[in-house]
Amino acid sequence: MTLQDIIQQLDLTVLTRKTDFGGIAPASGYASDLLSCVMAGAKRKSVWVTLQAHANIVAVAALLDLSAVIITEGAMPDPSAIAKADEEGIILLSTPKATFEVAGRLWEMGLRTE
Amino acid sequence: MNEGPIRADRVITDGAAGLITRVEELAYELKIGEVMTSPAKTVTPDMRMSDVLALFRDAKVSGAPVMANGELVGIVSIADLIRALQENNTAAAVSEYMTMQVTTLEAGSPVIEALKLFTATRVGRLPVVDQAGHLVGIITKGDITRGVLRALEYDYQEEEVRKYRARHLFEDIVSDRTSLTLRYKIKQGDFAHGGNASSHIKRALVRLGASPQIARRCGIAIYEAEMNLIIHTTNGGAVRVEIEPHQIVMETIDDGPGIEDIDLAMTPGYSTAPDSVRELGFGAGMGLKNIQRCVDDMYLDSTVGRGTRLEMRIFLKPDEQLGDSSSPADRAGRNGGASQ
C-alpha cells in the first residue's frame, strides 16, 4: 500500500508540495494528539493521525522520520507550518473525517501498528 | 529512452529506492525553463526542406519550431524531413511538411508536465513559451535527462561534501581528546520554534556519521528537553550538546522555577502543564520518561527557585563511533550503507 492509495481511498487533501506519493510505502500507523506519546509510540516511516495542526507536529514528524501526518476534523495548519513541512520534507494531509474513522479506514486497508 | 508508459510493477531495490524517489521529486521541483535548450533553433514557413536538412545536420538537432512574424506557427521534425526525402521533394517549403497544431509548454511549469505530455502524445520535442506565449526555447526528453542528472549530481555532491567534511573533523584535528560543542538558546513560550534545536542537532549527528538509530534517539531526547524549557521555565534556558567520537552528552539548563518533586515529575502521566499548553498536545506527562528510554544515562538536578539541570548521555559502541577514526573494515561497512 502506498501513500497514493491512502490519499485516494480516504480522499485526503494534500497540504504540502506534491511529490511521488506512489513511491512512499508507509510501514505502520499511529494515532494520538499527545506529542510525547507520539514520540514514544510512532515508528519510523509510519503515518500519524492527529487533530493537532500547529507547527510542532512538523518537528515531531521530522524527528521521527514519519511518512506523513493526517490532520483530522478539518483542522488547518498555518501557512508557516506548511512552509516548514515543505522545508523538512514532511507530507501533511488533511481530512474533515474524525481520527477514529481515519484510523479505522487505514486499518481496513491493511495498515498495522507493526 | 523507453517510449512505453511508466510501469507500475517495476521492481526497485532498497538501494535504488532513495535515488528513484529523488528523481521523481526532481520532476516536480525542476522547472521546464531550467532544463530546456534556449534559444531554440527556428525556421520560417517559406524556407525549403533542404535548408531544414542543413540546419538539423549542422546544429545536431532533430526538430525546430516554425516562426512567422514572431509567432509560433508550427514545428518541423526529422520525421517530416524523412517524408520530404522519401517524396524527393526537399525543394518544398517548410509550410508543406510542418505540423501546424503544436502543443506548447510554459517555462514556469514543473518538468513533470513535459514528461506527461511526452508520454501522452509520443512526440519527441515541445516548444516552450513564456507567460505571454512567446517562444523561449525547446525541450526534449534528452534535456530532461540531462537536467535531472545535473540536479542529482549537485544534490549528491553538496550533501556528500558536507558529510565528508564533518566525518573527518575528528581525525583532522589532533588533540588528546577532541569534542564538538553545539549550543542553542531556547525562549520560554516560543512554540513556533519548538523542535528547531533538536532538528539541527539530529542533522549534525547524521553528517558526523551517526547511525539513523542514534540520531533518532538523540533527536527525541533533545526534543522533549527543549519543549520542557519552552513550556515550564520562567526565562527559557540553554541546550548544550557535546559530541565526541565515543559519546554524546546533552544538557539543558534553566534558572527556574525548578521541580518540586523529581520522583513525581518522572512518573508517567504526571504533568504540571497548563491547559492552554495541553490543548496543543503537550503536557502528556511522558517527556522525562521518553528521555530516559532514549538515553543510556540521565541525571536530573533541580532546586525550587534556582533552576533545573538535565544531563543525558548516549554511549556509542565501537561500531557506532563518530568520525572516521574507525578501522578500514568499519569504513567499508559504513560506505556500504551510504544509500540510507
CATH number of the CATH domain containing B61: 3.10.580.10
Q: Looking at the DSSP assignment, which residues form a beta bridge with residue A70? A: A49, A93
At B323, which CATH number? 3.30.565.10
Is this complex scored with an ipTM above 0.90? no
CA distance B167 to A61: 26
B136, B214: one domain: no
B106, B200: one domain: no
pLDDT in tens, chain B (340 residues): 444 444 444 454 555 545 555 677 778 778 899 999 999 999 999 999 999 999 999 999 999 999 999 899 999 999 999 999 999 999 999 999 999 888 899 998 888 888 888 888 888 899 999 988 899 999 999 999 999 888 888 777 777 788 878 888 888 888 889 899 999 999 999 988 888 899 899 989 988 988 888 998 999 899 999 999 999 999 999 999 999 999 999 999 999 899 999 999 998 888 888 888 888 888 888 889 889 989 999 999 999 999 999 999 999 998 888 875 443 334 344 443 333 3
At A70, which CATH number? 3.40.1390.20
Domain that holds residue A38: 3-108
All three cell numbers of A39: 514520540
Cβ distance A20 to B28 less than 8 Å, yes or no, reads yes
Please identify among residues 84-113 of chain A the ones whose CB lies closer than 8 Å to any CB of chain B: 88
**Residues of chain B with C-beta less than 8 angstroms from the C-beta of A16:** none
Number of domains in chain A: 1
**Residues of chain A with C-beta less than 8 angstroms from the C-beta of B227:** 35, 56
Beta strands in chain A (DSSP E): 13-14, 28-31, 46-50, 68-71, 92-94
Estimate to the nearest angstrom the gap between the alpha carbon of B218 and the chain centroid: 22
CA-CA distances (angstroms) from residue B193 to B254, B309, B322?
Answer: 17, 21, 28
Segment B53-70, tens digit of pLDDT: 999 999 999 999 999 998
pTM here is 0.62
B70, B128: one domain: yes
Domain for residue B266, yes or no? Answer: yes
Domain that holds residue B266: 179-336
Closest residue in A to B22 (Cα) is A20
B131, B188: one domain: no
For the four alpha carbons of B25, B117, B76 and B72, in that order, the dihedral sign comes to negative
Of residues B20, B28, B199, nearest to A19 (C-beta): B28
Domain for residue A104, yes or no? Answer: yes
**Residues of chain A with C-beta less than 8 angstroms from the C-beta of B28:** 17-20
Cβ distance B223 to A59 less than 8 Å, yes or no, reads yes
